[in-house]
Amino acid sequence: MIATAKSTLDELSTFVRETAMLESIQSLLEWDERTKMPIQAGEYRAEQITYLSGMIHQRRTDPRIGQWLDELAASPLADDPHSDIGTTVRQMRRDYDRRTRLPQSLVEALTRQSVLGQQAWVKAREENDFLAFRPHLEEMIRLKKEQAAAIGFRDQPYDALLDEYEPGESTERVAAILAALREQLSPLVAEVVATGKRAPVEILRREFPTSSQESFGRGVAARIGFSFDRGRLDVTHHPFCSGMGPHDCRITTRYDERFFPSAFFGILHEAGHGIYDQGLRSEQYGLPPGSYVSLGIHESQSRLWENFVGRNYSFWRHFFPQAQATFPSALEGVRLEEFYFAINQVQPSLIRVEADEATYNLHIIIRFELEQSLIRDDLLVADLPTAWRDKYREYLGIDACDDADGVLQDIHWSAGLFGYFPTYALGNLYAAQFYDAADRQLGGLDGLFAQGEFEPLLLWLRHNIHQQGQCYTPAELALRVSGQPLTPAALIRHLRQKLAPLYGIRCG
């Protein structure tokens, strides 16, 4: 029986790896579309990706997969649900069951609308024209509701969409976690703002040449562990990280010569995603043990390197002299303490990707609440810009002056990524708990960073998170690594400890 099961496992693995190869080709086309593709190629690119999407869906729902999984589930090979084989059977059954509920016509329609919607979004944002984008968003929401109905859900349609990105989570539980976060975060932000103390952010708005930003950012990304032998850095409208195979991970950023943090922390963020992808077990590529477990855990890695490491005082004790040498005119005479305060300012703002560490999650909570309303039909797309402005006024005390910097600022809804936004906030919470655990177990990260030593943290993440693949659910992984379930406590403690000496607020 075991010999037969091993033969079945080989057949399943070969079939799935071949499908993963097709998916990597699709990823390459999508990367090219958002970085290098000529504008006029957009319509045909949509057809190319749609065609591939249909082929992949056919393979992912092939009846032989169900038969192979049935045979393996009945064998002793799958007795341990957290072993590589047990994980393969468990996770592939989950994926197979979800996909077989979706008609191929719907999969192809979603893919086509995603490509066309993203292309329409780029133009609409450039022209500040929400009306031109509105029909694309309305069609995408119609398709996402159809997708949720086909998959099925426990309490509300949004559950089916959220579960695609954060397996095992429910809208109710995530809403409760984010509500608890907001209850502690809003008073913290208000406390900081009430001090009236202002960070010297003008030093970040001097002249930072793009070529120097690129070389500095690449150098730091390499130092913290992103391998450019297995990856590359490019420019795009909205930064992202994309994997095209076990040794091909591509990150992107966008440069602003008059604002240093935009590209630099964007590079650190995407490098964090890339480090996770590069840390997955390449011999398991295409199979669940070699795949990331959730977008929340993925986001924890980008946020950990961007904020917990990249905005750390000890990190800049090591890198600030190099930054001053790279940008002599911009940073001449600037003290490390001034620079550190500037990159850790707290100031409610309109743009999510440029938000400070303390206010960022309020941006996410706004989007989380709005997209639930859209999926429930409590909010019409036509009324979305007004609802957006109302939420920003209520949660952050600011007004969106136009739709380009308001409801059109993110690419996600144009791509159909409903259920994606809350994973950013979950990622911040996971990151705080993981960083705490690593700091305790490695004997203090500040001392290592000050000496330019990042490999101990990298190896700790490799062992505890990256190489686990999908062997544990996100909730199980958080409990195993940090010793506690997900709560806002570690993140709020981290923020207070950082901001207390900068703004003169209470530490705890």
Examine the pLDDT at 15 and tell me if it is beyond 80.
Answer: yes
Q: Are strands 249-253 and 241-243 parallel, antiparallel or unpaired?
A: antiparallel
pTM, 2 dp = 0.94
Residue 503 in tokens: 């703004």
What pLDDT is recorded for position 346?
97
pLDDT digits 0-9 by tens, 334-348? 999 999 999 999 999
SS (H, E, C) 460-504: HHHHHCHHHCCCCCHHHHHHHHHCCCCCCHHHHHHHHHHHHHHHC
| C-alpha 407: how far from chain center | 19
pLDDT digits 0-9 by tens, 168-223? 999 999 999 999 999 999 999 999 999 999 999 999 999 999 999 999 999 999 99
The band of 167, judged by pLDDT with boundaries at 50, 70 and 90, is very high
What pLDDT is recorded for position 401?
83
- With tokens 């990298």, the residue in question is 458
Mean predicted confidence (pLDDT) in 486-505? 97
Examine the pLDDT at 81 and tell me if it is beyond 80.
Answer: yes
Examine the pLDDT at 153 and tell me if it is beyond 90.
Answer: yes
What pLDDT is recorded for position 3?
79
The percentage of residues in the chain with a pLDDT greater than 70, rounded to a whole number, is 100
- What gap in Å lies between CA 414 and CA 33, rounded to an integer? 14
Examine the pLDDT at 508 and tell me if it is beyond 80.
Answer: no
Give me the sign of the Cα torsion angle 57, 19, 79, 477: negative
The band of 1, judged by pLDDT with boundaries at 50, 70 and 90, is low
Examine the pLDDT at 40 and tell me if it is beyond 90.
Answer: yes
For the chain, give the number of residues.
Answer: 508
- With tokens 């919470």, the residue in question is 429
Q: Is 250 helix (H, G, I), strand (E, B) or coil?
A: strand
What pLDDT is recorded for position 2?
80
pLDDT digits 0-9 by tens, 387-426? 999 999 999 999 888 999 999 999 999 999 999 999 999 9
pLDDT digits 0-9 by tens, 411-467? 999 999 999 999 999 999 999 999 999 999 999 999 999 999 999 999 999 999 999
**What class has domain 171-503?**
mainly alpha
Active-site position among 270, 306, 357, 371 = 270
Give me the sign of the Cα torsion angle 122, 124, 130, 135: negative
What pLDDT is recorded for position 302?
97
Residue 164 annotated in active site = no
